[in-house]
Structure 1
C-alpha cells in the first residue's frame, strides 16, 4: 500500500531513519576488519582478583559495604526485599547502589542524504570478547566530571549542550532492577550541526548496518541497544519508506509500527493496567549493610550465595590502552552462563503484537516495568518453589526453529557485569494462540514506542528486544511458504 508523503516533522524524521535502516551493506566485514586493526595497536588485560586485593576500594568495617575511597562511583551494599504474597515473599541480596545519572548518547549526522550514527569501539572489563560496538558517549557522572582523574570524554559536549532542534531522543531509563538500586541513565540521540572530526576508535555506521550487527553474538553492547530502542522509529514515516513487508511476518511488523492499524488493548487500557499493577503491588525494600545479608558469604575472595546460584560479587584488575584511565581495579557482578530473554509475538488482526510482562524487580524506581515475556536464568529456579517458575518459559524453550524470528546472545553492561550474557529471542506463536495471563498484555511496536518516550515503562531487557525487533523491519524478506496462515 502506498501511503501519502510525510506531512509532519515527526513523519519526516522517521522516514529519514528508515532510509538509514535500509542501508545495510557491508557492516559485518567492515566492523570485524576495523576491530582487528584496533586490537593490533591496543590492549586490554582483565584479571580476576579477590575482593580484598582491590586498590582504591575498601570494605567498611562496620557495614561490610564495598566502597570507593573517593566516595564516588558506586557502593556494593545489601537490600532487604519483602513482596507479600509473591512466590518468594522475602529475601536479602547484595546490590549496586549508583545514584548518579550517566549519559548514553549516539551522535547522528547525514551523509549523501542518509543519516549515519557515530559509534565507538569500546572495551569494558566485563566484556567476554573485548571490543564491542558502543554509543558515541557512554559515561557515568563520575567519569565525565573527572572523579577518575583521567582523560575527558570525547563528544560529550554534543549531549550536555545540544543545539536547538538537534535532539531526536532524550529520556531517562532504568538499568537492571535485580542488580542495581534505582539506577538510571540518560538515553540520548542528537543530530550534529556542522563538522564532526572522527577520532581514533570511532566510526560512522548507517542504522541498517548497526541493525545487521545485532544478529551477531556479543558485538553490539547493551548501552547501544537501549539507546537504539529510544529512536523515533515507528509511524507512517517508517511504513512509507519501507513499503510492503515482502513476507507476512515483516508486513505484520510494519503494520505494528502504525497506530491506526489497530491494537489488542487501547493505550488508555494499557496505562491503566500498569498503574493498577504499580498501585496494587506491595514491594517493600530497605537498604541494609552488606554484612547483614544472610544466605550470602565471602568464599574464595568473592561474595556468593550459599546455594552457589544467582550471581557472585567478585573483583577485577584492568590494564588498558585507549580508556580515560590506563589501569584500575573494581568490584563486579558475575552471573555465569547465558540466561534467557525472550519476547513472544503474535499476529492479531494482521498486526504483530508482543506479549509484555508487568514485572517487579527490587531495584525499580516505580515497582513495575514492562519486561519481555520471559526473562530468567532457568537453572536458578531449581532451588525455588514451582510457583516461582516463569510463565511461558517452557513454551519459549520448546519453540521450533521456524518459529524463532530472532536469536542472538548479547552481553549485558560490561562496566559492572563480568561475562554476563543472555540469549535474546523473538518467538512467534500462531494467531489463534491466546496466552492470556493477568500479569501480561499484548502491545504493538507503536505502543511500545509511545511508552519509550517516557521514563520507567520498559526495562532494559525489553528495550534490547525492541531494538532487535526494529532490526527485523528492514531485514531481507524471508522466503514465503506455499501456504501462509
Structure 2
C-alpha cells in the first residue's frame, strides 16, 4: 500500500493552517436557529431567504406496496466544485484549500480550489465571494478537461448534483494563505490519511481523465494487474446497457412530502429522529469561524448514527484486475440507480441485507489494498464517516451474477469506469471516491 509521508512542505503548511484555524461548532435547539424555521403548513425546515437548502419529507413506495418515510435534504441548485491545475517542472499541481466545514470531525479538511453552492457565490448570506471563482466562469477561463454534473448521496439528498470541474491555468495565480499548490501524485497519496481529503475533492479526483494521471510506479503483481485494468476493456457501452436495464426495471416510486407527514419520525426540541432509533438524526448547530465568508451562522445538519463502509471487491482475471460493481438504488437519485461499490453500509432500509458484506468482514489483512476512513460532506452532514476499502478476492471468487441479487452486479475494469465517469449520473459519490483511491494505488 502507498503511504503518504508526513514530513513534507505540505504537512508543515497543513499544521500551520490547523493552528491558525479559529472555529467553534456547538449543538443548539431548533428554536435557536437564526433565519431558519419550521413552516406552519407542512413543517418543512427552511431558510427565510428561500435559498440554501430545506429539510423535507420523502415517501418511498415499492411495486409490492411497501412504504417508507424519511427526512431528506432538498437543495434545488447546482453547486460548483472546482480545482485549478498548473504544471510546475513537468508535474501537475492542484490548488487546494484548507477549508473549515461545520460537520467535519476534525473541522479542517483539504478541499477543492472552489467549493460553493449557488447561494454562496451569489452571496445570499451577505458574505464575501469565494476566492478564485472567476477562473471557472466565462470565456476567459482556462481549458477544462473535466466539466460534468455529478450526483451526491442519494440516501440523504433529493436530486442533488454539483458541477465538477478541473481547469488548467498557465499564468500567475496569487495564492491565499488558506490555499496551496499540491503536486497531483502527493495529493493522491494523501487519500491514505484518515479524514484529510474531503468528499468534494475526492469526487473531482475520481473524474480525472487518464491523460492527467501520474505515471505508474508499482511493479508488484497487484500493481501490474491494476495498471492493466486501466488499459483493458472493450468500451463501456455494454456495461451502460446493463445499467440502463436495471434503471428501467423501475420498482420504486419516490416523492417529496411535507416533513410533518414522515411517519415513524418525531421532532423534538433538539433533533428529528426515527422512532426506532435507526438511520440518522437532523440536528441544529451554531458555527463560528474566522476563515469563512461569514464569521457566524446557524444551520441544520444531518447526523448519521454510525459509520459507513464502501468497498470494491476486486479479483485478477488473467493479468487484469476487475472490480465487482453494483447498480445500486438510492431514493434521492435523479434516475434512482447509479453504479456503486460492491458493498455499501448502512443499507438503504434498516432490514436490508448487504450482499458480500461477509466477504468484506472476513477478508485477510494482506488482501486489503486500501483502507482509510474518509469524511462525507461536512457542510450538510455531522461527523459522517465512511471506511473506504479495496479488497482483493481469490481469482476463483465467482459469485452467481444470474441470481435475483446477482443481476445487479457486474465485473468491470477501471478503464470502463473511467469512460462512464466522464458523464453525469452513472457513478455514485462513493464509487467516484473509490475510483480516486484506486488512482492512488498505481
> Which category describes the TM-score, using the shorter chain as reference length?
over 0.9
Give the superposition deviation at 1:430: 1.1
Return 5+ residue gaps in structure 2 as ranges.
Answer: none
Task: Indicate the larger mover: 222-231 or 433-442.
Answer: 433-442
Whether the aligned pair in 1 keeps the contact of 2:30 and 2:269 (CA below 8 Å) is: no
Distance in 2 (alpha carbons) for counterparts of 1:119 and 1:202: 5
Q: Where does residue 37 of structure 2 map in the other structure?
A: 58
Q: Is residue 405 of structure 1 aligned with residue 369 of structure 2?
A: yes
Q: Where does residue 3 of structure 1 map in the other structure?
A: none
Q: Where does residue 219 of structure 1 map in the other structure?
A: 196
SS of the residue corresponding to residue 40 of structure 1 reads helix
Give the superposition deviation at 1:27: 5.9
Q: Where does residue 289 of structure 2 map in the other structure?
A: 320
Whether the aligned pair in 1 keeps the contact of 2:236 and 2:420 (CA below 8 Å) is: no
Distance 1:452 1:193, change over 3 A: same
Distance in 2 (alpha carbons) for counterparts of 1:163 and 1:28: 38
Give the superposition deviation at 1:427: 0.7
Give the superposition deviation at 1:391: 0.6
Distance in 2 (alpha carbons) for counterparts of 1:408 and 1:442: 23
Distance in 2 (alpha carbons) for counterparts of 1:371 and 1:179: 16
Q: Where does residue 118 of structure 1 map in the other structure?
A: 95
Q: Where does residue 223 of structure 2 map in the other structure?
A: 250
Q: Where does residue 232 of structure 1 map in the other structure?
A: 209
Deviations 1:28-51 (A, max 9, x none): 643432232123333010001112
Distance in 1 (alpha carbons) for counterparts of 2:293 and 2:67: 41
Q: Where does residue 84 of structure 2 map in the other structure?
A: 107
Distance 1:416 1:326, change over 3 A: same
Whether the aligned pair in 1 keeps the contact of 2:236 and 2:417 (CA below 8 Å) is: no
Whether the aligned pair in 1 keeps the contact of 2:191 and 2:437 (CA below 8 Å) is: yes
Normalising by structure 2, we get a TM-score of 0.95
Q: Where does residue 67 of structure 1 map in the other structure?
A: 46
Higher-helix-fraction structure: 1
Q: Is residue 284 of structure 1 aligned with residue 253 of structure 2?
A: yes
Whether the aligned pair in 2 keeps the contact of 1:217 and 1:408 (CA below 8 Å) is: yes
Return 5+ residue gaps in structure 1 as ranges.
Answer: 1-21, 474-485
Q: Is residue 32 of structure 1 aligned with residue 14 of structure 2?
A: no
Whether the aligned pair in 2 keeps the contact of 1:28 and 1:213 (CA below 8 Å) is: no
Q: Where does residue 383 of structure 2 map in the other structure?
A: 419
Distance 1:464 1:434, change over 3 A: same
Residues paired across the two proteins, number: 436
Deviations 1:80-108 (A, max 9, x none): 1112249xx32011000001000000000
Give the superposition deviation at 1:163: 4.2
Distance in 1 (alpha carbons) for counterparts of 2:387 and 2:305: 13
Give the superposition deviation at 1:238: 5.7
Distance in 2 (alpha carbons) for counterparts of 1:175 and 1:220: 16
Give the superposition deviation at 1:283: 1.7
Deviations 1:286-308 (A, max 9, x none): 11000000100013510000111
